[in-house]
Amino acid sequence: MANPTLLILAGDGIGPEVMGQVTRIIDWFGDKRGLAFDVEHDLVGGAAYDKHGTPLHDDTMARAMEVDAVLLGAVGGPKYDDLDFSVKPERGLLRLRKEMDLFSNLRPAQCFDALADFSSLKKHLIAGLDIMIVRELTSGVYFGEPRGIFEEGNERVGINTQRYTESEIGRVARSAFELARRRGNKVCSMEKANVMESGILWREVVQKVHDEDYPDVELSHMYADNGAMQLVRAPKQFDVILTDNLFGDILSDCAAMLTGSLGMLPSASLGAPNADGRPKALYEPVHGSAPDITGQGKANPIACILSFAMALRYSFDQGDEATRLEKAIEKVLADGARTADLMGEEGGTPISTSQMGDVILAAL
């Protein structure tokens, strides 16, 4: 049988540095666990723009549609800040999400025991935190038409359209309920049904999918502003949070920061299952391209490595191997391995990106 295929798009800033460690881990799984992948590399974001004048070349897009999973590093950087909207690095990522139809974005906000002190929250509020945010990723105000900057009378107006169909809401709701069943069996859905009609439809469809097919899952609804408050007040009240593209962007970053260690958080973006049962999938760390530390060997590769662990679990049905990798990371953290971003007030000497790769490989 042919090996499963991976397309690696390391992207910009620290993307290539952290991805360098991921490829070492991938090789280890091939050598030691008989899990060999066929790996290809290509460009995305500013790196693609520099070479092709577009943040995602059509050939890359075509390969992304064919492979079993895409691993992405990070996109963007100050060098590209003044580029036209249509060729900004982010457009490459958004095109991947849209054309691969990756409607369900899984963002775990998890607090590692060894790192609970890094949170800005008091320890008892955050220790043991384990939330999964399911963000709709291919519709809503990121993609709705009409959009643009138009002349109107004697001034300009900036327009974007928030837009959700019943089927778009239904499919992402299903993915949240499915996930909840494998976790704490609770879903909290967030919108602004008190002021937005798109929120009313969202709430109605989520409730209907629940009542028809997931009555065993505990479902609640919350306004998104209250959601932001509750995340800060008592984050452990949540299991799975289901929300739309824009609210999800903000709430998942808020939740991520609660853990205090952004360099630790992976994400998975999943589409519909193919004939072989595998969803179209893209995995990427939650952190950005971090231009301030690029090229210095300081970046923390763990978020990107944990994204590969999510790939093992969600694309390749290798939950046990994913757990093996996650446990290795927990161990090195418990043993005190720290990249620069994980230096607390006690101080100490940080290890480099590749040294973190070394100790994780050793722990495996």
Ligand X SMILES: CC(C)[C@H](C(=O)O)[C@@H](O)C(=O)O
> Which residues are annotated binding-site positions for substrate?
97, 107, 135, 225
For the bound state, the minimum distance from the C-beta of residue 46 to a second copy, rounded and expressed in Å, comes to 13
Task: Verify whether residue 225 is a known catalytic residue.
Answer: yes
Q: Distance (Å, rounded) from C-alpha 3 to C-alpha 36?
A: 6
Please give the structure tokens belonging to residue 304: 């990107």
Question: Judged by CB under 6 A, which of 24, 40, 52, 90 binds ligand X?
Answer: 90
- 249 near ligand X (CB under 6 A): yes
Residue 51 or 156: which CB sits closer to a second copy? 156
Helix (H, G, I), strand (E, B) or coil at 101: coil
Residue holding tokens 């049904």?
A: 193
Locate 65 and state its tokens.
């549609």
Torsion, CA 289, CA 294, CA 299, CA 302, rounded to 10: 40
CB of 286 to ligand X, least distance (A): 7
Minimum CB distance to a second copy, residue 258 (Å): 6
Q: How far apart are CA 296 and CA 206, in angstroms?
A: 46
* 249 carries an active-site annotation: yes
Which residues, 300 to 319, sit near a second copy by CB under 8 A? Answer: none
Instruction: Choose, by CB under 8 A, the member of 61, 196, 340, 361 that binds a second copy.
Output: 196
In the numeric block, the tokens 């963000």 are attached to 135
Cα dihedral across residues 142, 143, 146, 151: positive or negative? positive
Q: With 0-12 CB in 10 A as exposed, 13-18 as middle and 19+ as buried, what is 150?
A: exposed
Residues 251, 310, 322, 363: which binds a second copy (CB under 8 A)? 251
Q: Which residues bind ligand X (CB under 6 A)?
A: 90, 93-94, 194-195, 225, 249
Binding interface with a second copy (CB under 8 A): 76, 85, 88, 90, 94, 120-122, 125, 141-142, 144, 147-149, 152, 155-167, 192, 194-202, 224-226, 228-234, 246-247, 249-254, 256-258, 260, 262
